[in-house]
Structure 1
């Protein structure tokens, strides 16, 4: 059993590999060795802030070496060993040059080498290391993970919109059942519903009346009637050119106003239930996560405009993020590229990707290509989810993130 005084980290492009040993072993000091170009001030700050936010009291130092200079790397490592007590090397990350330098040093000096299996969170002894006295959890919040990767979560007024009570969960289940019965028409209906709400007169709170109905406004009588049976819509009247109805509450209005909201919320609710039912499965979860590309938030009056993405559902599991994209209608290969780009930038190389949908490409050849492309990109497909029971849907999500 051992406690680490000095941890020597071979700096890597992957931030999770840079912090996993510090996170799990809680050393007194961490010395990062790497190229100056790779260890930017921004990345150094992200690592220091990460440890601070995690409440880990550790001294963090950065030592740079010359690019493609094996002897410089060897000299730097020897200097660190000469000037620090009780050193352990983490070989989880780092380039081939760094590993070669450590190998050269270890041939002449007795050094302690180990690495972590990041996916399993398992400590692996390479040489001269016993089992650690204590291995901490790899858990981290969504905000901590985004910060570590040099990005940042952006909060908007919409983040406070969902008040997920038991009654609200039941209403989402009801809307989902309506979608399952009418999934082919749901998107066009929701577009029409949104148009009507944007142009209607609100006669009284949540009671809307719109005049000017045409065939181009494809509001579905069947969907409106099913929503009425569920008590989510009342006083529904549709004439030749006029339509009026009342919505149960403002939360339901927000759900019905965008085609993908119900699927996103259902995934979030089911995953939240899994979090409660399976302790240790999920560390953090959020729906509708707005993220800034470089973590630098500019004022609305600034000439520099932020690049942002919205993640439908984001899950943290043992330090690794799971990016979930929810699609309620048709989709193509661009859907896969959008998900992959966001996951790799915001989550790093250990991010997982899941695409949840109700409709897959109709042509068998098109779907075969789509499925193979998703597999090549490491994206897990959960399609035709409208045919699953609630329990079946939850089980598929469980298997996808486990």
Structure 2
């Protein structure tokens, strides 16, 4: 049997990454009692379900007494060696005292030691002269990580019942969405106001047709909400013309008395009136090009148990979730201007969901179309959040 000894860490990926790459028969975790109680069930389940590990055991160690640590570890190792098993030491994520113990025992027993640089998904072996290295002697497994697997590893789950429907639409919709993004980009000062105006005042009927009197439109544009943002009738009509030229709306006409147009499809009618859709979908395609797997409008359940009653779940929605090696990237997209309070709220919300559902290796990114103050950029940097301004 192939036995992998390692320190049980609160960071789940560190506990399983070796077993995702090599066929391990048995994993023995050395760890502290409270961490064992917290992680035992989920780690055992994951290793057996996804990695094919046959046996998973846990040994509680002292936090302070190296003698006690060595005694327990030696007793366990002696048993495995006596039975003729191949033993490997995995120090990925290990704490100082345990690392000292592993170092002492590896020399005493002449056993191979390795670790993973999780951020690079790269194996590091410390005994290059030892022919018993795990990379030489153990069968490769190479479990390909995906979004569901890595979210589950953190004890969470993607709620596909609440997933943004635009994830599954084809090339035609993708092209239309990109055309809408191009318009939103050119009118980025006005786009959020425009989308909000449509949603509140110009929703289509069952035939996807919009018909509105010019008088009503002009009166509504005079309201404080639009006047304060200098959103004019001319801008409204310019955007309508662009949407018409792109084929998003058809049969567009603007007479002295009436606006009329029809949406090309129900999906596009719903897509245009939500302010952030254009930026989110555009950036989704960029993430897919970079990393392959990505989703937009993802609702993540915090305890991994999805109830029929949505109100019974604790969950967060993230604009884009993408895969980067064995790490998750959490992306928040903001197309409108952000004042100080909104920036801070966005940063803390992004940080909270990434830490809970992605662990310490999660990447965090805020995509903005309007610049923010340097003080907020510094705060984002302190929180490990990359801020990307769309030029």
Q: CA-atom RMSD, angstroms?
A: 2.6
* Match of residue 150 from structure 1: 155
Q: Give yes or no for the alignment of 1:337 onto 2:339.
A: no
* Secondary structure class of the residue paired with 2:262: strand
Whole-angstrom CA distance in 1 between matches of 2:134 and 2:4: 15
* Secondary structure class of the residue paired with 2:322: strand
* Match of residue 36 from structure 1: 33
Q: Which runs of 5+ in 1 are unaligned?
A: 276-281, 388-402
* TM, length-normalised to structure 2: 0.84
* Match of residue 258 from structure 1: 274
* Match of residue 396 from structure 1: none
* Match of residue 379 from structure 2: 373
* Match of residue 72 from structure 1: 68
Q: Give yes or no for the alignment of 1:296 onto 2:305.
A: yes
Q: Deviation digits for residues 378-398 of structure 1, max 9, x if unmatched?
A: 222220x2x4xxxxxxxxxxx
Whole-angstrom CA distance in 1 between matches of 2:245 and 2:307: 47
The within-5 A match list for 1:1-400 is 5-40=2-37, 43-54=39-50, 56-84=52-80, 85-106=85-106, 108-127=108-127, 128=130, 130=133, 132-133=135-136, 134-137=139-142, 139-156=144-161, 158-196=163-201, 200=203, 202=205, 204-209=206-211, 213=217, 214-215=220-221, 216=223, 218=226, 220-236=236-252, 243-272=259-288, 274=289, 282=291, 284-300=293-309, 305-331=312-338, 332-361=343-372, 366=373, 368-383=374-389, 385=390, 387=391
* Match of residue 397 from structure 1: none
Higher helix share: 2
* Match of residue 399 from structure 1: none
Whole-angstrom CA distance in 2 between matches of 1:6 and 1:266: 46
In structure 2, relative to structure 1, the CA distance for the partners of 1:242 and 1:61 (3 Å cut) is farther
Contact 2:162/2:299 (<8 A) preserved? no
In structure 2, relative to structure 1, the CA distance for the partners of 1:49 and 1:83 (3 Å cut) is same
Whole-angstrom CA distance in 1 between matches of 2:28 and 2:323: 27
Return structure 1 stretches of 4+ with deviation > 6 angstroms.
Answer: 239-242
* TM, length-normalised to structure 1: 0.82
Q: Deviation digits for residues 306-347 of structure 1, max 9, x if unmatched?
A: 221111111112211111221111232332222222211111
Whole-angstrom CA distance in 1 between matches of 2:356 and 2:386: 18
In structure 2, relative to structure 1, the CA distance for the partners of 1:239 and 1:333 (3 Å cut) is farther
Q: CA deviation at 1:157?
A: 5.0
* Secondary structure class of the residue paired with 1:38: helix
Q: Deviation digits for residues 233-255 of structure 1, max 9, x if unmatched?
A: 13445679975432110111221
Q: Which runs of 5+ in 2 are unaligned?
A: 227-232
In structure 2, relative to structure 1, the CA distance for the partners of 1:336 and 1:201 (3 Å cut) is closer
In structure 2, relative to structure 1, the CA distance for the partners of 1:48 and 1:338 (3 Å cut) is same
In structure 2, relative to structure 1, the CA distance for the partners of 1:173 and 1:79 (3 Å cut) is same
